[in-house]
């Protein structure tokens, strides 16, 4: 996978950027062997009833990939921000002292 320069983050997504970003998401999904971040959190099924009040902007890799394919992002930085949001949401919901720590 090619490295994407941080100077590219505020540019409009080109075909080359699309391919790089898609490769990044595919790599992240491959790294996530437990598939914890592949799809939206099934908070009802997992009985995490407080999830929607704690996480106001849920995000996952499949949603990012679909948004990218559907051209819902205009800038590279928007995609990178959503990738970061996946991690931020996980850290927020499973923070130290959380009742649900380590569930996901």
Average pLDDT, the chain: 88
Q: Determine the average pLDDT of the residues in 83-101.
A: 84
Does 103 have pLDDT greater than 90? Answer: no
Q: How many separate domains does the chain show?
A: 1
- List, for residues 58-87, the tens digit of each pLDDT value: 999 999 999 999 999 999 999 999 999 999
Residue 81 lies in a domain: yes
Domain residues for the domain of 13 are 6-93
Residue 53 lies in a domain: yes
Q: Which residues of 56-93 are buried (b: 16+ CB within 10 A; e: fewer)?
A: eeebbbebbbeebeeeebeebebbbebbebbeebbeeb
- List, for residues 25-45, the tens digit of each pLDDT value: 999 999 999 999 999 999 999
Residue 45 lies in a domain: yes
Confidence of residue 2 (pLDDT cuts 50, 70, 90): low
77: domain CATH number?
A: 1.20.920.10
Residue 1 lies in a domain: no
């Amino acid at each position: 996978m090619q490295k994407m320069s941080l100077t590219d983050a505020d540019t409009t997504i080109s075909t080359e950027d699309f391919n790089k970003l898609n490769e990044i998401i595919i790599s992240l999904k491959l790294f996530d062997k437990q598939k914890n971040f592949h799809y939206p959190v099934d908070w009802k099924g997992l009985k995490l009833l407080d999830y929607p009040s704690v996480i106001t902007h849920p995000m996952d890799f499949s949603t990012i990939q679909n948004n990218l394919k559907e051209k819902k992002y205009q800038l590279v930085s928007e995609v990178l921000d959503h990738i970061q949001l996946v991690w931020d949401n996980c850290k927020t919901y499973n923070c130290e002292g959380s009742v649900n720590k380590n569930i996901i």
